[in-house]
Amino acid sequence: MPTYPTGVECHGGKLRLWFIYRGVRVRESLGAPDTPKNRKVAGELRASISYAIKIGTFNYAAQFPQSPNLKRFGFVKPDVTLDEIADRWLELKKMEITKNALSRYISYLKISMDIIGRDKPVDSISNEDILLVRKELLTGYQLCGVNQLNRSAKKGRTVRTVNVYMNCLGSMLRFAATNGYIEKSPLDGVDPLRKSRAEPDPLTKEEYLRLLNTCPSEQIRNLWILAVNTGMRHGEICALAWEDIDLKNWTITVSRNIAIKGHFTPPKTECGNRTITLTQAAIQALKSQMAYTRMGKQHQIDVHLREFGRTRTDECTFVFVPRLTARNGKGGNWYAPGSFGATWNEILKRAGIRHRRAYESRHTFACWALSAGANPNFISSQMGHTSAQMVYSVYGKWMADNNTNQMDILNANFGGNAPPMPQSNSQ
């Protein structure tokens, strides 16, 4: 039976020290094999640590820089820069977010770190540094050198966008605090900036007709008719294939999205996997588009699923093919969201219509459907919302506009026979 110096023990075949620090017994693994020579060296190390603790010169973080006990005693891991923390956090974050989200996080952190200083030790970042980042993002800046900002050179970001940047930066700094790189996040106590609710800005019927009449090709016209008449997300339309369309019942099964070029994923949310019932205008647009792409080339594409590392292969004959209308004849086999939105901007400009985000095509569908008296729950399922609450909160104004007709509906239908109870409540 081997003998061990005081404070030295074997754990899993490796040597471990125990000692009393600040009145608490702690253990630290040395990672060294349990041999007579190593036991002697470990005993000497333990004696030196005990002596340093006694005279008040022991530096826990320097002696055991990777110890989980550092956070327990309020120490931080030394000499770690902001850039290094960002690399570590993003590497671990890859497993839980999409490729598109990862690229956005990288962009948010790059810009934020350029303002603070990439090589600045993370434990020296102050609450003031965080407030400076927020101020510069709001007012506008451009880097002219190392931490040299030209505040008039770049347009400031919106409050909504700045809050997104700060949320990303805060998540990274909380990671640093949790893992002992800093004592606490300097973003603690920094509240999100107040922002006003962005109201939907749908097209009017007259603007919609002008937009269609200005489309440079039949395919572009069909594309925007489908967008406005279904409320589909643009990435879902880019990834739409004829294999997803029931040409007998005229429905679309949404099971794919594309957020960045060449990278297919499931829809934005689980509720985004849905079946859309098509309006007559959408049906006519698809019938028109059939002549261009229905018998086109079928592609095998990889869809990156939500579970990390898993993919599925879909066979897709894409409904909208940009190379058919590309001026140089070199367009791709399916649209990317960026080029998709560019067609919207061009058409608005040519038609003399006040500029709006391309996403307003989705808002237009919701607002028109509500104005027509459609059930909010039906609209929610068509658009792939998690619940009808989104429809109530975002489009409540258009629902209120219908209140004048409600008494007419009640008077016309309220005096007759009582409706049958739902099956589950009829007993």
Domains in the chain (CATH in brackets) are: 8-72 (no CATH), 82-178 (1.10.150), 205-404 (1.10.443.10)
CA atoms within 13 A on the CB side of 146: 4
Q: Name the catalytic one among 135, 268, 294, 304.
A: 268
Sequence-separated (6 or more) residues with CB below 8 Å from residue 53: 19, 20, 21
Annotation says 21 is catalytic: no
Annotation says 362 is catalytic: yes
Q: Name the catalytic one among 16, 134, 221, 233.
A: 233
Res 68: pLDDT: 82
Q: Name the catalytic one among 141, 181, 335, 395.
A: 395
Q: Rounded to two decimals, what is the model's pTM?
A: 0.69
Annotation says 16 is catalytic: no
Annotation says 268 is catalytic: yes
Annotation says 108 is catalytic: no
Res 209: pLDDT: 95
Tell me the C-alpha distance between 85 and 192, whole Å. 23
Question: Per-residue confidence of the chain (427 residues) as pLDDT tens digits?
Answer: 788 999 999 998 999 999 999 889 999 999 999 999 999 999 999 999 999 999 888 888 778 877 888 777 766 666 789 999 999 999 999 888 888 889 999 999 999 999 999 999 998 899 999 999 999 998 885 444 444 444 444 678 889 899 999 999 999 999 988 887 887 889 988 888 888 777 888 899 999 999 999 999 999 999 999 999 999 999 999 999 999 999 999 999 999 999 888 889 999 888 889 999 999 999 999 999 999 999 999 999 999 998 888 999 999 999 999 988 877 667 788 988 788 888 999 999 999 999 999 999 999 998 888 888 788 889 999 999 887 887 877 776 666 555 555 566 566 656 555 556 666 554 4
The phi-psi region of residue 241 (left if phi > 0; otherwise alpha if psi is between -120 and 50; otherwise beta) is beta
Tell me the C-alpha distance between 94 and 149, whole Å. 31
Res 347: pLDDT: 95
Tell me the C-alpha distance between 331 and 343, whole Å. 13
DSSP H or E stretch at residue 371 = helix 360-371
Res 222: pLDDT: 96
Tell me the C-alpha distance between 175 and 169, whole Å. 10
Closest to 218 (Cα-Cα) out of 296, 321, 297, 298: 321
Determine the number of helices (DSSP H) and then strands (DSSP E) in the chain: 16, 12
Res 400: pLDDT: 56
Helices (H), 246-323: 280-293
Sequence-separated (6 or more) residues with CB below 8 Å from residue 260: 99, 100, 103, 336, 337
